[in-house]
Structure 1
Amino acid sequence: MSVSRYPVAIAGAGPAGSAVALALHALGVEALLLDRPLAQPFRIGESATPDVAGLLDRLGAGHALDAHLRYHGNLSLWGSETPRLDHFLHRGQGHGWHLDRARFDQALRQEAMARGVTALGDSGVDGIAPSGDGWRLQVRGLGEVEAKVVVDAGGRRSPLASRLGVERHRLDRLQALACHAPNHGGLSGYSLVEAAPYGWWYAAALPDGRALATLMVDQDLAREQKLDQPAQFLAAWRATRLLAERLPPPARLDAVHAFAAHSGCVARAAGRGWICVGDALMGLDPLTSSGISGALGDALAAAPAIAAMLDGDLAPARAYAKRADDGFRRYLAERRRHYRQETRWPEQPFWQRRAFAPAALAVPA
């Protein structure tokens, strides 16, 4: 059986994986991009903060934001009974974007392929073992692949790093319970965030004219209160103040879709011949709206470290791990600060857990 050989194999073709492929191509490094199929067809929308445009320009992929909705700021009911509008212009920033995630991800993959990156759809890594000075992978749909460096861009499960025995720290059990509304109501241009005793709600307009309504709640609390069931989900939605006013709930729902939204990170960011990027490196609370920004930033930082690995130099990988550690520490401090601003339900489990959340967790090299 013939073996395909690439300097770099990237497991995961979401924004982080495609961005790594683009950044490596700019450095003259060939990579194989492996894209596994989605477990479910429902795609959760996502916000892109204003800094995403500059990151995409550095990758030569600014067009990936074409046809998405402008996002001007956040309307929130958090820590107070009075709604608050936080406009990006008040921070001296431009606008962000409300994304059609499937379209955004596809644009980045297609840009990578247009530049000659080999991408394999409906694939995944079924096995990995050391081979010479690199790795031998069992790739679904292709067979055996040899790569000197492997990149885990496979999301919050860190699937490739876990196969290498790298532990992942999980800080909470937050999940997103989501559905689409038939129209975006009074949400155009803004994200809406509303705290509740059991968690918090997020809603945003989508480019296709619909809206996304999402409840962020811990898995055990969702089960106990049956919030993952359409009837109770709708009842909780109707009981909101700001959300129900701006985005009235539909009369009925057929299903509520659940997605992982917990905070966590790998115990090691990189090692000899491997590196993690995006959610596979660290999963951030959706409250930060920084998932896309973080994925692109990781890719741009990881590419030089990967190129150095190919030459046997691990110093840039250690610097990359230090960057990840510093970033995750800042994130945890900010996360705890933001959750502590909500003091209306101190006895409720969701808020008690976050009041005593850790303020630091190392991500060593």
Structure 2
Amino acid sequence: MSRITDPFDPAASAVTGARASYPVVVLGGGVAGLSAALTLVRAGVSACVLERTDYSPWRPGETLSPVAYAELQQLLAPEPLETEGFLASHGLEATWGSGHPHRHSFLTNPYGSGWHVERRHLDALLARQVQSLQVPLWRSTCVTHLEREGHGWRLRARTPQGPVELRCEALVDATGRSAQVARQLGVRRHSWDALCSVSVITDRPPGFQEQRLVVEATPLGWWYAAPLPQGRLILSLLSDVDVLQRQGALQPAGWSALFSTTRHLSERVGRLAGVTRLQVRRCETSRLEHAAGAGWVAVGDASAMWDPLSSSGILKGLRTGRAAARALCAALGGNSGALEDYARQEAEEFIRYLSARRAHYTLEQRWAAEDFWRRRLDAPAGLELVAADAAYT
């Protein structure tokens, strides 16, 4: 396998005008992008990863299902998966379809228990694994220019050490919902709803000691609570943007007032004192019209976003990163249909997801006339609904 030396020493001074070439450049150093990078390098294809953050900002995604944990172990093998900083997950509890909570235990799952994780910790763990294989990973790096050049690409990026120019044969778009590469190429994104999460991270109260994911449906949408390592807890309200705006849920006081109306979560968590900061994130069901094209492929949320109700965000990132990398390897080896096959498989998987999403929402009929629930119960699974582009902060 050919190795390409990183043109930057992270401790060095600015290297204005540095240049490098790689078969593949991965834009985005989250789970999906790092999964792709690890798969590529182990297949003998050199790559580099450009990550816009230093991994310190908060990132959504706090639960590893047993299947996702098994996939993560497989990705990191033969190195053992270090779970220091993870919190074992014993299952989930859902108040959905009736007023009585239903519990599902992971004790009988053939893959073992799940895990509650600090997402930044998980991404940083994968980043270290990538770097241990001598894959250049440039943090705090922003792509400032991207263009076709012959059969490949030319990029310019701004790094803490200075500007760099990169050339590559193929790109992995792991830039999340923004889908930076696909958007520049004019690929449309279709949305099925306007779902948004509004979250608070707080100290875990004495009444919430069980290590399980807790979900509760309400007239306006649904809530979830998940324990985090180091005695923390995340509480999230999920609903459509316009519903959240009408209810004042994008402001701490309005969000807190709505939380107090929950039946089971408010009893378990108790009074939340001093909520001053909300984490707001759009998480609508959406997908690119095409997940790949000549010399590029989209992975993770860049390819398609799934409702957090599926609890599949991390698993989807791991799997699409691996599948896209294998398709790229085949394409670089002369298989002209490999990327088209990947895009078709992604489209078929999304159709299966839409069917499962509809079936799960159909289980909750108590508030079928409320806007949030009516939209999900009335719309046919394959009908395109353009999400409202409402402003929020």
TM-score range, shorter-chain basis?
A: over 0.9
| 329, 354, 358: which one aligns with 1:332 | 354
C-alpha RMSD of the superposition: 1.9
| 49, 52, 56: which one aligns with 1:36 | 52
Moved more, 320-329 or 182-191: 182-191
- The 5-angstrom pairing of residues 124-203 of structure 1 reads 124-141=142-159, 142-184=163-205, 185-203=207-225
What is the deviation of 1:37? 2.0
**Using a 3 Å threshold, how does the CA distance of structure 1 residues 210 and 92 change in structure 2: closer, same or farther?**
same
Distance 1:193 1:278 in 2: 24
Could you tell me which amino acid in structure 1 is paired with residue 217 of structure 2? Answer: A
| 132, 136, 152: which one aligns with 1:118 | 136
Distance 1:227 1:244 in 2: 16
Equivalent pairs, count: 362
**Using a 3 Å threshold, how does the CA distance of structure 1 residues 358 and 110 change in structure 2: closer, same or farther?**
farther
| 13, 20, 28: which one aligns with 1:4 | 20
What is the deviation of 1:32? 1.1
TM-score by length of structure 1 reads 0.94
**Is 1:268 aligned to 2:290, yes or no?**
yes
- The 5-angstrom pairing of residues 287-326 of structure 1 reads 287-326=309-348
Ranges of 4+ aligned residues in structure 1 off by more than 4 Å: 90-93
Could you tell me which amino acid in structure 2 is paired with residue 13 of structure 1? Answer: G
**Using a 3 Å threshold, how does the CA distance of structure 1 residues 186 and 155 change in structure 2: closer, same or farther?**
same
- The 5-angstrom pairing of residues 237-256 of structure 1 reads 237-256=259-278
| 313, 319, 342: which one aligns with 2:364 | 342
Moved more, 2-11 or 12-21: 2-11
Contact 2:173/2:299 (<8 A) preserved: yes
Distance 2:74 2:383 in 1: 30
Contact 1:73/1:95 (<8 A) preserved: yes
TM-score by length of structure 2 reads 0.88
**Using a 3 Å threshold, how does the CA distance of structure 1 residues 361 and 67 change in structure 2: closer, same or farther?**
farther
Distance 1:197 1:187 in 2: 27
**Is 1:230 aligned to 2:252, yes or no?**
yes
Partner SS for 2:177: coil
What is the deviation of 1:60? 2.1
Contact 1:305/1:314 (<8 A) preserved: no
- Could you tell me which residue of structure 1 aligns to residue 115 of structure 2? 97
What is the deviation of 1:124? 2.3
Percent identity of paired positions between Structure 1 and Structure 2: 37
- Could you tell me which residue of structure 1 aligns to residue 235 of structure 2? 213
Distance 2:45 2:317 in 1: 19
- Could you tell me which residue of structure 1 aligns to residue 64 of structure 2? 48
